[in-house]
Amino acid sequence: MKIGAALVLLAVGAILRFAIATPATHGIDLRAVGDILIIVGAIGLIVWLIVWAPWARGQRRSYPARTPLEEDEDRMAAQRDDGRYGRYGRY
């Protein structure tokens, strides 16, 4: 279950539990159905947070660390520049 589905179940369950004035229609207790949907949505949200949230954080891009050799090459290239264009090229 994805996080969106869990939130929808929570919302629909809350509407059935708290917003509908008629508690039962032809043998179906809407408040009990709302309670069940809230519980299922909460369990789905908790499971998503435990299982999928750590993986979602790992998808962020990160840049590799620069080695001292690369930093020295950049410093030497900046020293070779004759100053016409500045450190980062043309402005």
Model confidence at 13, pLDDT cuts 50, 70, 90, reads very high
Helical segments of the chain, H only = 3-14, 30-51, 53-57, 68-80
pLDDT in tens, 23-70: 777 888 889 999 999 999 999 999 988 888 777 666 556 666 777 777
Instruction: Say what the pLDDT of residue 20 is.
Output: 87
Taking residues 10-24, report their average pLDDT.
88
pLDDT in tens, 63-80: 667 777 777 777 777 766
Task: Give this prediction's pTM.
Answer: 0.58
> CA-CA distance, 68 to 65, in Å (whole number)?
10
Instruction: Say what the pLDDT of residue 71 is.
Output: 76
**Tokens 């508690």 found at:** 23
Instruction: Say what the pLDDT of residue 77 is.
Output: 73
